[in-house]
Amino acid sequence: MGKEQDTVKPAHIGRPASLAMDDLTRLRAVTGKTHVIIESQVQGASMGMAIPDGAQIRIRAGQAEGLCAGKVIAFCTRSRVMVHRVVYEGRRGAARHFVLTQGDGNWLCDPPVERSCIVGEVQSLASEGEWRPIDAARMSLLRRLVARASQAIMRRALDYNPAFAVWISRLISRLRMAPRLILLRLRLYFADHVRN
Q: Which domains does the chain have, with CATH numbers?
A: 6-195 (2.10.109.10)
H helix or E strand, kind and range, residue 99: strand 98-102
Question: Of 75, 124, 123, nearest to 102 (Cα)?
Answer: 75
The answer to whether 172 and 108 have CB atoms below 8 angstroms apart is yes
* Residues contacting residue 112 through CB under 8 Å, at least 6 positions apart: 90, 98, 99, 100, 154, 158, 162, 165, 166, 169
The pLDDT of residue 34 = 59
Q: What is the pLDDT of residues 93-141, one digit of tens each?
A: 899 999 999 988 888 888 999 988 888 889 888 877 788 988 888 888 8
Q: What is the pLDDT of residues 160-183, one digit of tens each?
A: 999 999 999 888 877 877 777 777
Backbone dihedral angles phi then psi of residue 79, each to the nearest 5 degrees? -135, 15
The pLDDT of residue 152 = 92
What's the rounded Cα separation, in Å, for the pair 166 and 163? 5
